[in-house]
Structure 1
Amino acid sequence: MLLGDARLPTGAHTQSAGLEPALRAGMTVDDIPSYLTARLRSVVPVEAGAAVLARREVLDATAPDDLTARLTAVDEAWRARTVSPALRDNAQVLGRGYLRLLRGLWPDDLGVRALTHVGKPSRGVVLGVAGAAAGLSAAQVARLVGYDDAQTVAAAALKLEPMDPTRAARWVFEAAPDIENLSSLAGLATVDDLPATTAPLVEEWAERHAVAGQRLFRA
């Protein structure tokens, strides 16, 4: 519940999960549920898979140095499957915010200590380490990533297109089956198993938004 709370001091309030550039490009409010579903079936499984793998590496590790190398490999695998430089950069920014939180909550945790030497870990990898420290199962970690993405879209929609809050809440509720489907990633064992699904429009919008002026959200 803590990790899924948007009020955490991680910088997540600056995010719209790509919704702002999508609306700028002509997407309508009525399209938001479909947009949310598209994300949960494309870019989100890649990040959720990275989180699951990072969690597994922490739980299987015995030495910090070896774990740092393994977490770096997971992070590199995620980057290889994330074409957009803007999306990679944004994930690094979010990862930094979450890592700061983890260092405050679990400063002596093996995974957290190893993660500080990864460089600029992406959000998914950091969330996986957080899941290991918090005692979450692999399925819970995958669902967490999906739920966070859906809630980010819904919360941003209320700021970008003011509406009845219950409408946005319903979008998240109706996305529950797709969020639950992410639990199927719990069995991932190696970086070769990481999904490689993409969303070209999401990537294009992210690149445009990175250089746009007068934007409400960072991404």
Structure 2
Amino acid sequence: MSTGLGTLLLADARLPVGGHTYSAGLEPALLDGMPSDRVADYIAARTRTVGLVEAAASVLAHRAVGGAAAPGPATDGPEGVGVDAGALADVHEALLARSPSAPLRDISGLLGRGLVRLADRLWPEHPAVKALRTLGRAPQRPIALGVVAAVMGSDEAEVARVSLYDDAQTVASAALKLAPVDPVEAAGWVLGAEGVISASVAEALAVRGPDDLPARTAPQIEGWSLEHQLKTRRIFVA
């Protein structure tokens, strides 16, 4: 699999990792009264806060497992070279410490578990996949994303960009199910986020280690997630 194709696959909404269950917080935002014409602003706000933290965590996870792809059927390369399970666990703990909302941690774990399942099917013996499994049943999505991207051969910039693009696209796709939105307009929101995404990619790549991981929060999004958890009529988990 070429690097470009692997990265595109990770950004594909049809990837069977459970992304269809998640609105990136848009459903509770709209239910609380946020008008649909502010969705582009919502995407930009997420990119600068939650998105940046997750992209940086994905980059650090990518580095922790060496950032190298399996050369063959996941058994050919030097076993364990470049894979630091301890460093991966440190990044995971740092991300959890920056994720105060239990419902958002839960959905991130659900999405992470989907990526682990994918990795287990495709590269069950790869050292990076084995290191990912040591984090438990449901590692946070950004960590799993960084590891899977490394196994696929994506570079750090691609990892950061796909993390941020996926978040923006998740919001735009959810909007089509939640509000009277023209699909062309939704595509325009994602295209319009290119500037803030590129700036956030640069910030994510500048992070050097878990202690340096940004701690930017979005209190309103976290509050909405706690309220949404209690609702009995909803389309998305969060």
Question: 1:24 is matched by which residue type in structure 2?
Answer: L
After superposition, where does 1:14-163 map in structure 2 within 5 Å?
Answer: 14-59=21-66, 63=80, 67-119=84-136, 120-163=138-181
Confirm or deny that 1:198 pairs with 2:217: yes
User: In the aligned structure 2, how far is the partner of 1:216 from the partner of 1:60?
Assistant: 36
Confirm or deny that 1:10 pairs with 2:27: no
Q: Secondary structure at the match of 1:107?
A: coil
User: In the aligned structure 2, how far is the partner of 1:101 from the partner of 1:211?
Assistant: 31
Q: Which structure: greater helix fraction?
A: 1
The answer (yes or no) to whether the contact 1:43–1:197 under 8 Å persists in 2 is yes
Deviation at 1:187, TM superposition (A): 3.3
Deviation at 1:102, TM superposition (A): 1.2
Deviation at 1:108, TM superposition (A): 2.1
Q: Secondary structure at the match of 2:55?
A: helix
TM-score (norm: length of structure 1): 0.95
Confirm or deny that 1:169 pairs with 2:176: no
The answer (yes or no) to whether the contact 1:98–1:127 under 8 Å persists in 2 is yes
User: In the aligned structure 1, how far is the partner of 2:130 from the partner of 2:119?
Assistant: 10
The answer (yes or no) to whether the contact 1:95–1:121 under 8 Å persists in 2 is yes
Deviation at 1:69, TM superposition (A): 2.3
Deviation at 1:189, TM superposition (A): 2.4
TM-score (norm: length of structure 2): 0.88
User: In the aligned structure 2, how far is the partner of 1:104 from the partner of 1:60?
Assistant: 20
